[in-house]
A and B are shown apart, each in its own frame.
Chain A
Amino acid sequence: MLKVRGLTKTFRSRRNTVKAVQGVDFDVAEGELVGFLGPNGAGKSTTLRMLSTLLRPTSGEAVVAGCDLLADPNGVRNRIGYVGQGNGAGAGLRVGEELVMQARLYGMPAAEARSQVTDLLKQFDLEGMDNRTVSTLSGGQRRRLDIVMGIVHRPGLVFLDEPSTALDPQSRSNLWEHIRSLRDRHGTTVFLTTHYLDEVDALCERILVIDDGRIITEGTPDSLKTEVSGDLVTLHTGAPAEAATVIGHLPGAREVTTDATSVRFRVPRGDAAVPVLVRELDRIGAPVEAVSTQRPTLDDVFLTLTGRSLRDAEAGAGDGAEQE
């Protein structure tokens, strides 16, 4: 569905040059639900805007939904849906009108466009909203309308740019349901950007982590947590020093730290390591009093890979990094 090679984008203004995207390669297969995770200013939106023909890449190439991005942008436009960060529907217009017009821009006959719009409004819990003025919708409704607008022509590939930003928690999880159903019911390939860890965790089967215009790792959320960070295990014992020595010999264990009563370390599979460890420590006379294992968050992954947490990276992303 998506094949991206060496894509770069450099913004030049009189005062400075910003290398927003510095050579990005990845593939997305048909029917995948992929998340593009990174702090603000990492180059996510810029990449998405290039792949949806809004920005011309500085270099590199891509095949999007079977069409060459540079040679056949109109072919790409016909086959993709794009939901930007803003609201795509005109504030003073009516919901139904905007949607039918959008479908007809893709060449859909009027009658088909109307029935398609009715179906989609129902599916996205916007039934009977046809005649509402767009500006009277709630934030969650408006965001769902944006998504309907992006898929009204039944594209095989949909780009979502920060779909749940500025929504309340309830609207967010509701939106996630709808995004999931897009893929499950229609087999649509979904590629979304986000800087929310819970969003990729809840939604995506595979993530690409981007920082400073480069993809730094990719995998399933679980595999990234396991391989990159590993579980955090805390053991309470009367003999932390002895325990630490045993843990040091455990395959994959690292970041071992001790204090007066406990040992903390990371290991790829905490659930499998703990039983072994408990028996071994019993045997050497350093019995375990309490144990807890914590699955890493994707923030831990980001921290391990970049040395900064996502939140720090957000704060550090200076102005001008995310320029248009």
Chain B
Amino acid sequence: MTRTLRLFRHTRLVFVRSAQPWLRSPALHIVAVFSPLLYLVLFGPLVKNALPPKVDAWQWFVPGMLMQLTLFGAAYAGFAITPELRSGVTERLRVTPVSRLALLLGRVLGDMAQLVIQGGVLLAAATAFGFRTPVLAVVLALALAAVLGAAISSLSYALALTVKEENKFAPLLNMMLVPLMLLSGVLLPMDNAPGWLHTLSRINPLSHVVEALRAITAGHYGSTAAVQGTLITVVMAVVCGLLGWRTMARNQA
């Protein structure tokens, strides 16, 4: 068996294993979509007044919620691995000839599939509020969100494998997620921000991802915002993926 074929087989096995819990309890998806839905209902109506009059509030706000769903969903992926690290599951898998890349890829693909389903539910629910977008845009937006999810969940696994304990992992995540989200311009437009805040938000790669999602859902597939945001997302996925791989492959558990 060639290396590539084996990597493929192993990735599929790890993917199926990691998908098992949420395939069996679909209710988990509803729980995951609940918080962005609350934002739509309870925060969405406030957004209108903060936006320039020409901009449609839902067209502006929903792509941001898709980003937020992806960010939080993927960031918590690491919580699946800490109990396995402690109980001996990770150790058991490391003794098998499974490729360490497959251990990461299988899980990350599982997370991506999960995020696509949840993102789809969110976008469908948003149409009830008056959000409209072409089918092609839905496909592209979910694909971009999935790539972002791959980056964030790889990073989450790397972090979880390094800190090892939930009670350290959780506050660390919070510390990183809150500023990332606030500075991404998901809740309110950053155009009105003071200079320093605006600069900070430009440095945050996630604000470019959100802009790309907005451009895509508006049907501007070839726009600078869409292309630039997509490139940034892909680079993030590659860098975080390599980091996750390195952590998985590290000598000591």
| A residues in contact (CB < 8 Å) with B | 52-56, 74, 77-78, 80, 82, 84-94, 97-98, 101-102, 104-107, 146, 149-150, 324
Contact = CB atoms under 8 A, between A and B. Distances in A.
B88 A87 contact: yes
Nearest to A149: B92
List 9 A-B pairs, minimum CB-CB distance, nearest first.
Answer: A86-B88, A88-B92, A82-B95, A77-B97, A105-B96, A84-B88, A84-B91, A105-B98, A86-B87
Contacts of B182: none
A77 B95 contact: yes
B252 A55 contact: yes
A54 B253 contact: yes
B87 A82 contact: no
Nearest to B92: A88
> What is the size category of the interface that chain B forms with chain A?
20 to 34
B84 A90 contact: yes
B89 A52 contact: no
Contacts of B251: 55-56
Interface of B: 1, 6, 9-10, 13, 16-17, 20-21, 83-84, 86-89, 91-98, 251-253
Contacts of A82: 91-92, 95
A267 to B, nearest CB: 46
Given A86-B86, A86-B88, 10 more contacts: A55-B251, A85-B88, A86-B91, A89-B89, A94-B20, A101-B16, A104-B9, A105-B96, A105-B98, A324-B252
Nearest to B21: A92
A101 B17 contact: yes
Nearest to B97: A77
| Dominant secondary structure of chain B at its interface with chain A | helix
Contacts of B98: 105
B20 A97 contact: yes
Given A87-B87, A90-B84, A106 B96 contact: yes
A97 B251 CA distance: 28
Contact of A78 (B17, B86, B97): B97
A106 B96 CA distance: 7
A55 B91 CA distance: 11
B9 to A, nearest CB: 8
Contacts of A80: 95
A107 B1 contact: yes
Contact of B17 (A90, A106, A149, A324): A90
B10 A88 contact: no
A70 to B, nearest CB: 12
20 contacts: A54-B91, A54-B95, A82-B91, A84-B88, A86-B86, A86-B91, A87-B87, A87-B88, A88-B88, A88-B89, A93-B17, A93-B21, A97-B17, A97-B20, A102-B92, A104-B13, A106-B96, A106-B97, A149-B92, A150-B92
Contacts of B17: 90, 93, 97-98, 101
Contacts of B9: 104, 107
- Most A CB contacts (10 A, CB to CB) among B16, B92, B98 go to B92
A82 B96 CA distance: 9
Contacts of B253: 54, 324
A85 B10 CA distance: 25
Contact of B96 (A55, A97, A102): A102
B27 to A, nearest CB: 14
Nearest to B102: A105
A93 B97 CA distance: 21
A104 B253 CA distance: 23
A148 to B, nearest CB: 12
A80 B88 CA distance: 17
A91 B87 contact: yes
Nearest to B89: A90
